[in-house]
Amino acid sequence: MFPYEKYLRRNKFPHIWCTGCGCGIVLKALLRAIEKSKIAKDDIALVSGIGCSSRTPGYVDFNTLHTTHGRAIAFATGLKLAKKELNVIVVTGDGDATAIGGNHFIHAARRNLDMTVVIYNNYIYGMTGGQASPTTPAGKKGSTAPYGNIEPAFDVSALAIAAGASFVARSTCYHAVQLDKYIHKGLLKKGFSVIEAMTPCPTYYARPNRLGNVVDMMHWYKENSIPVEIARKVSEQEKKEKITIGILHDAERPEYCEEYQKLSARIMKTDNK
Partner 1 sequence: MREDDARLMTGNEACAEAALVAGMRFFAGYPITPSSEIAECLARRLPQEGGTFIQMEDELASMAAIIGASLTGVKSMTATSGPGFSLMQENIGYASMAEVPCVIVNVQRGGPSTGLPTLPSQSDVMQARWGTHGDHPVIVVAPSTVRETYDWTIKAFNFAERFRVPVVVLLDEIVAHVNEKIIVPTRGEFEVIDRDRTTQDPKDYLPYALTDSDIPPFADFGSGYRYNVTGLSHDETGFPANDPKKVDLLHRRLNRKIERYRNEIVHYKTELLEDADIVVVAYGSTARSAYRAVRNARALGLKVGIFKMFVLWPFPYQELDKLARRVEKFIVPEMNLGQIAHEVTCAAKHEVAQVNRIDGGLITPDEILEAIKNVSV
Ligand X SMILES: Cc1ncc(C[n+]2csc(CCOP(=O)(O)OP(=O)(O)O)c2C)c(N)n1
Q: Is residue 126 at the binding interface for ligand X, with CB under 6 A as the rule? A: yes
Whose CA is closest to 149, among 162, 134, 159?
Answer: 134
Query: What is the longest distance spanned by two Cα atoms in the chain?
Result: 71
**Cβ-defined contacts of 129-135 (< 8 Å, 24+):** 129/204, 130/201, 130/203, 130/204, 130/205, 130/208, 133/93, 133/94, 133/95, 133/98, 133/99, 134/94, 134/95, 134/98, 134/99, 134/102, 135/94, 135/98
- The piece of 94-102, 150-158, 225-233, 262-270 that touches ligand X (CB under 6 A) is 94-102
Minimum Å gap between C-beta 238 and partner 1 is: 37
Q: Total residues contacting ligand X (rule CB under 6 A)?
A: 17
Binders of ligand SF4 among 217-246, rule CB under 6 A? none
Minimum Å gap between C-beta 126 and ligand SF4 is: 3
The single residue among 2, 3, 42, 219 that binds partner 1, judged by CB under 8 A, is 42
Minimum Å gap between C-beta 14 and ligand X is: 18
Q: Is residue 127 at the binding interface for ligand X, with CB under 6 A as the rule? A: yes
Binding mask 133-162 for ligand X (x = CB under 6 A): x-----------------------------
Q: What single DSSP character describes residue 119?
A: E
Binding mask 125-164 for ligand SF4 (x = CB under 6 A): -xx-------------------------------------
For the residues of 34-89, what is the DSSP string, one character each? HHHHT--GGGEEEEE-SSSGGGGGGGBSSEEEE-STT-HHHHHHHHHHH-TTSEEE
Gap between the Cα atoms of 243 and 245, Å rounded: 6
The single residue among 4, 8, 18, 35 that binds ligand SF4, judged by CB under 6 A, is 18
> Residue numbers of the site for partner 1 (CB under 8 A)?
12, 41-43, 45, 47, 57-58, 61-68, 70-71, 74-83, 85-86, 103-104, 107, 260, 263-264, 267-268, 271
